[in-house]
Amino acid sequence: MCLKKASTSSLGSRCPAWSSVTGCKSVTTAAGWRVCISVFGGGGVGWFESPSRTSPLMLSTALTVSAADSGLSKISGGVSPLMILISDVTSSAMDSEPGEKPLIGFIGLGNMGNHMARNLVSKGYPVLVYDVNTAAVDGLKQAGAKTASNPAEIAANTDRIVTMLPASKHVQEVYTGNNGIFSKVVKGTIMLDSSTIDPAVSQDMAKVAEGKGAFYLDAPVSGGVNAAKQALLTFMVGGPDSKFPEAQEILQNMGKNVVHCGAVGTGQAAKICNNMLLGISMIGTSETMNLGIKLGLDPKMLAKILNMSSGRCWSSDTYNPCPGVFENVPSSNNYDGGFGTALMTKDLGLANNAAKDTNSAVSLGQRAFEIYTKMTEKGYGGKDFSVIFKILEEMSGPEVEKKKKEFYDQ
């Protein structure tokens, strides 16, 4: 259907009130649009109100519509045959004018999601946000975002949604709960889930979305909090080829790399593999830094050598776990902020489950999972996962074997 904004010369600068349109009929579509069309001869004049702009205040815009356009149906029963209604308009058809950026819903404003949503706002997108943490919501509101009371409200008001949640259970609740996305999702909506979860859960969500005429793509991220702040994330996307360009258009505002991995679930598979390697490499980097310091090496000098040699990795050259080597990383901030140990434990658990399902040998991955599980049980779950360096440092000394046994066996 072709919907064109009418010129002010034909309609004046403002749309008339609903009650002032003689004989006009209106309809509220599934997307929440109120549409009224009066057709005279071959063309016509119409008005609509959009729920996806500045709720509860609605935007009124004038339209001209060709009676020959598909999607328009004549009304009989005493009504003039020239009077028609739009019966199946969706928010995607009228969400934005050329050059105007569409409304994006964003759910999940934690350490990563907060920065991701802020980047969308800073790039000029209207953003509608929700999180159970009201302080996080208030912060985004001050940054220029609009707020919603639950995921369903977001789904009812936009056809582009990004979610960034801690675990599979949170994704299931946000999407399928009583006030979840699927309770109000509009046909044609594209949902991008940047959470790191079980690939099977992503596939389940995609099946439900398909049944509602919508599209769910998994789009987990890599790069950490600093990359989220600077819009330098890498997105690993799983979903239909036909929907990747739409996903890329949104995600490129929050990252520098947007990679299509394949069908739904492959984004999660790539992320799980990446984070298993990350957990292993962080333990290896921490052991290396601790050993070098015990051998008398200056930590900054050791890091410099590692980062120009074959042992170089992200854990050594960007996110070094030894305090003081780099500024603006959790290790230099008492391991606060960043990527929590509990979340790394969760991701390593996903990797180990996947290894069992596929009969894959992951000896180091299994050991890393055991170590991070013990760290979480010992109360380090809220600290950044690089806190493993501190634990190794505290274990070291004359009674190192005893301390190791106490840590891992208790």
Active-site positions? 271
Instruction: Select the more confidently predicted residue: 68 or 119.
Output: 119
| Domains, the chain, with CATH or none | 4-94 (no CATH), 104-264 (3.40.50.720), 274-409 (1.10.1040.10)
Residue among 138, 105, 110 nearest 224 (CA): 110
Do 302 and 293 contact (CB within 8 A), yes or no?
yes
Helix ranges, 307-410 (H): 314-317, 341-358, 363-375, 388-395, 400-409
3-state percent helix, strand, coil for the chain, nearest multiple of 5:
45, 20, 35
Identity of the residue numbered 222: S
For all residues of the chain together, what is the average pLDDT? Answer: 82
The reported pLDDT for the residue numbered 97 is 54
Residue 56 preceded by cis peptide, ω within 30: yes
| Per-residue pLDDT at 80 exceeds 50 | no
pLDDT-derived band at 402, boundaries 50, 70, 90: confident
pLDDT-derived band at 234, boundaries 50, 70, 90: very high
- The 10s digit of each residue's pLDDT in 144-176 is 999 999 999 999 999 999 999 999 999 999 999
| Per-residue pLDDT at 131 exceeds 90 | yes
| Distance, CA of 31 to CA of 58 (rounded, Å) | 14
The reported pLDDT for the residue numbered 2 is 32
The reported pLDDT for the residue numbered 400 is 87
| Distance, CA of 227 to CA of 241 (rounded, Å) | 26
E strand spans, 96-175: 104-107, 127-130, 146-147, 160-163
**With pLDDT > 70 as the criterion, what percentage of the chain qualifies?**
76
- The 10s digit of each residue's pLDDT in 92-113 is 433 455 568 999 999 999 999 9
pLDDT-derived band at 272, boundaries 50, 70, 90: very high
Is the pTM above the cut of 0.95?
Answer: no
Q: Given CA atoms 284, 287, 293, 299 in this order, what sign does their dihedral have?
A: positive
Instruction: Select the more confidently predicted residue: 89 or 372.
Output: 372
- The 10s digit of each residue's pLDDT in 305-348 is 999 999 999 999 999 999 999 999 999 999 998 999 999 999 99
Do 389 and 331 contact (CB within 8 A), yes or no?
yes
Q: Coil, helix or strand for 75?
A: coil
Instruction: Select the more confidently predicted residue: 33 or 80.
Output: 33
Longest dimension (CA), the chain: 96
Residue 90 tokens read as: 């969706």
Q: Given CA atoms 200, 206, 207, 208 in this order, what sign does their dihedral have?
A: positive
The reported pLDDT for the residue numbered 382 is 96
Instruction: Select the more confidently predicted residue: 18 or 364.
Output: 364
| Per-residue pLDDT at 45 exceeds 70 | no
DSSP states of 262-321? ESTTHHHHHHHHHHHHHHHHHHHHHHHHHHHHHTT--HHHHHHHHTTSTT--HHHHTS-S
| Distance, CA of 323 to CA of 34 (rounded, Å) | 58
